[in-house]
């Protein structure tokens, strides 16, 4: 009796082909799905700027533009107001300290001088009259004192003689007593005249001292008024160049009005504006270099102005050694300001991509150059040529450094 054999269940060789084909289709579908989920931008490679990341020395400096200015500027303000009557020196001329630049006239000031002179003359007359009165009183007082002294001596002698006669009982008690009373009265009168004379002398000294002080004050006041008169001559406050002069003949100038300036040309400084991004790192005494015609001229940062305007702050730099021979006010120079010491770092060439990313990410080109993928990075310091890369890139990698504004939200750039 024959037994029917059942076919064994299991995978046959042809099944393995089907499985491999399914896995392949699944992988391709996954790749297509993944690729379609990444935002892609296509562009021509020639339109982009591509740079290579490299290891090297990072020079911690920034390049700034500065303008030459006089080492000091002294402003001229009118001490006294008046009308311009004469203009002796024009703008741009070299002046010496004390040179008269303008002459003003002020009728009110002239009247004040006349009034002060009249008051001083009256005070001098009063002082002379007072001195004459005190001198006359002093003479009368001394005459009275001399008379009192003579009377005292005479009465004292008479009293002493009568006392001797009274002791010998040659005169009456009444005669002796009368001479004694006259002598004592003369003593009291002498003391009174002496005291009065001393008081008159003290009063004279005090009064005349006060009058002399008043007269000295009036003379000083008159001297100050004469000085105000001299201030109608506007003089150069220092040696230098007359930078500008805002005054014309016949023009009325107010007291305190700025009318010009003197540029002190004994030396020069460089005035520059720096982006507020560096305000915490820019300090006094930093060193800088100005290069001209292949020669470097060292500078020192002398002053940092605290005020920030339109995103920039101002600094002043001065030469520490030689300066260009043909330097002139108003010239413009590029200056390399050293912020710190050089150090080994990963260097990324500067580019306009930074404006779009703020240095937080960048497009990295793959080795075959067919595409670039967005990658997060971290940037440290920067100078005029390089960024210092702290994280996210390796030496030899290439990145897109041109502007990213056209890429939109793309995370992948296909390079054709």
Rounded to an integer, the average pLDDT of 30-55 is 76
- What's the mean per-residue pLDDT of the chain? 85
Q: What is the pLDDT, as a whole number, of residue 1? A: 44
Q: pLDDT higher for 34 or 173? A: 173
Q: Strand locations in 122-257, DSSP E?
A: 233-235, 240-245, 252-253
> Mean pLDDT over residues 350-361, rounded?
90
pLDDT of res. 14: 55
- Tell me what pLDDT residue 398 has: 92
H or E element that contains 291:
strand 287-292
User: Would you state the pLDDT for residue 12?
Assistant: 55
pLDDT value for 34: 43
Nearest-angstrom CA–CA distance, 260 and 4: 127
Token readout for 213 is: 């002080």
Structural domain boundaries of the chain? 37-58+343-415, 107-219
pLDDT at 8 exceeding the cut of 80: no
Q: Give the H or E element holding residue 56.
A: strand 54-58
Between 48-62, 210-224, 359-373, 397-411, the lowest mean confidence (pLDDT) is in: 210-224
Share of the chain above pLDDT 90, in %: 32
Instruction: State residue 35's pLDDT score.
Output: 45
Contact 159/183 with Cβ under 8 angstroms? Answer: yes
Confidence of residue 302 (pLDDT cuts 50, 70, 90): very high
Q: What is the CATH number of domain 37-58+343-415?
A: 2.40.420.20
pLDDT band at 406 (very low <50, low <70, confident <90, very high): confident
Q: Which of 307, 308, 333 is nearest to 319 (CA)?
A: 333
Long-range contacts of 223-226 (CB under 8 A, 24+ apart): 225/109, 225/112, 225/113, 225/116, 226/113
**Burial of 358 by CB count in 10 Å (0-12 exposed, 13-18 middle, 19+ buried)?**
exposed
Question: Which whole number is the average pLDDT over 225-238?
Answer: 86
Question: What tens digit of pLDDT does each residue of 75-84 get?
Answer: 999 988 899 9
């Amino acid at each position: 009796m024959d037994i029917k054999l059942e076919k064994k269940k299991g995978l046959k060789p042809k099944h393995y082909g089907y499985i491999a084909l399914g896995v392949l289709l699944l992988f391709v579908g996954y790749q297509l799905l993944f690729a379609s989920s990444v935002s892609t931008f296509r562009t021509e490679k020639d339109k982009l700027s591509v740079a290579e990341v490299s290891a090297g020395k990072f020079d911690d400096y920034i390049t700034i533009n500065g303008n030459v200015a006089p080492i000091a500027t002294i402003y001229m303000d009118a001490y006294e107001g008046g009308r311009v009557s004469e203009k002796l020196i024009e703008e741009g001329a070299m002046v010496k300290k004390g040179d008269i630049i303008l002459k003003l006239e002020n009728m009110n000031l002239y009247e004040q001088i006349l009034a002060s002179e009249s008051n001083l003359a009256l005070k001098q007359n009063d002082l002379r009259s007072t001195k004459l009165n005190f001198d006359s009183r002093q003479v009368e007082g001394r005459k009275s004192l001399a008379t009192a002294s003579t009377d005292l001596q005479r009465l004292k002698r008479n009293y002493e003689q009568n006392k001797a006669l009274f002791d010998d009982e040659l005169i009456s008690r009444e005669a002796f007593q009368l001479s004694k009373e006259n002598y004592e009265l003369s003593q009291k009168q002498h003391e009174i005249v002496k005291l009065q004379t001393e008081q008159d002398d003290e009063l004279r000294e005090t009064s005349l001292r006060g009058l002399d002080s008043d007269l000295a004050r009036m003379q000083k006041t008159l001297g100050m008024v004469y000085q105000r008169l001299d201030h109608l001559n506007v003089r150069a406050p220092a040696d230098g160049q007359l930078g500008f002069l805002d005054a014309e003949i016949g023009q009325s100038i107010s007291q305190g009005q700025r009318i010009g300036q003197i540029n002190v040309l004994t030396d020069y400084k460089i005035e520059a504006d720096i982006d507020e991004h560096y305000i915490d790192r820019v300090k006094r005494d930093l060193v800088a270099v100005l290069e001209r015609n292949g020669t470097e001229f060292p500078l020192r940062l002398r002053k940092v102005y605290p005020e920030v305007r339109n995103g920039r702050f101002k600094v002043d730099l001065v030469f520490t050694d030689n300066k260009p021979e043909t330097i002139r006010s108003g010239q413009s120079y590029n200056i390399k300001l050293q912020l710190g010491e050089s150090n080994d770092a990963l260097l990324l060439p500067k580019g306009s991509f930074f404006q779009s990313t703020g240095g937080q990410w960048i497009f990295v080109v793959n080795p075959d150059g067919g595409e670039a993928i967005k990658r997060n990075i971290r940037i440290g310091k920067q100078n005029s040529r390089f960024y210092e890369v702290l994280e996210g890139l390796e030496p030899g990698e290439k990145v897109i450094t041109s502007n990213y504004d056209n890429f939109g939200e793309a995370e992948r750039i296909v390079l054709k």
